[in-house]
Structure 1
């Protein structure tokens, strides 16, 4: 836009229309990114994918996955035993 020639009204209108389309596109993209429902859907999809990967690792017998499941079960067992002892 640094050229020294005079622009016609049509050129100026075309530039304004192009800028308006770019701005509309940017606003739409920001709206999509900031939409709570879209963020929730993205988080849900990511969590589902991670859970499916983890379940597959457990089924394959991956040591880290099996250790996590074992630790969680041990923790739950200890919580049940502790609750039962307090209930006496």
Structure 2
């Protein structure tokens, strides 16, 4: 046993035990909150809302770029249209 352990009073030991219990309680509560299915669903909803908002903002910027005649935006739009046309053509031929 170390010298510090021998010098501790019962009150100090009880205070340490109380602090340890409080720390453990807080840890268990935090884990319970993290693993709560409702909390996970709420977090997923919030993440989806944020992603949708960001996608909407990017789409608006892209639309503005296309409208203003930005060559990169027009090229991306053309490539997207070509890919969709290719997919439609391949599906129609497969029937």
State the TM-score, normalizing by the size of structure 2.
Answer: 0.62
Q: Which has the higher helix share?
A: 2
1:13 offset after TM fit, Å? Answer: 0.5
Offset from partner CA, 1:2-48 (integer Å, 9 cap, x none): 42533211011101100011001100100010000001101100110
In 1, Cα distance between the equivalents of 2:34 and 2:27? 11
State the TM-score, normalizing by the size of structure 1.
Answer: 0.67
Q: In the alignment, is residue 24 of structure 1 matched against residue 16 of structure 2?
A: no
Offset from partner CA, 1:33-80 (integer Å, 9 cap, x none): 0000001101100110000100111111175xx86xx67xx59xx5xx
Structure 1 pair 57/12, CA: closer, same or farther in 2 (3 Å)? Answer: same
User: Which position in structure 2 is the counterpart of 1:35?
Assistant: 36
Unaligned runs of 5+ in 1: none
Q: Which runs of 4+ in 1 moved over 3 A?
A: none
Pair member with larger Rg: 2
In 2, Cα distance between the equivalents of 1:42 and 1:22? 25
In 2, Cα distance between the equivalents of 1:18 and 1:51? 44
Unaligned runs of 5+ in 2: 66-72
Query: Over aligned residue pairs, what C-alpha RMSD do you find?
Result: 2.8
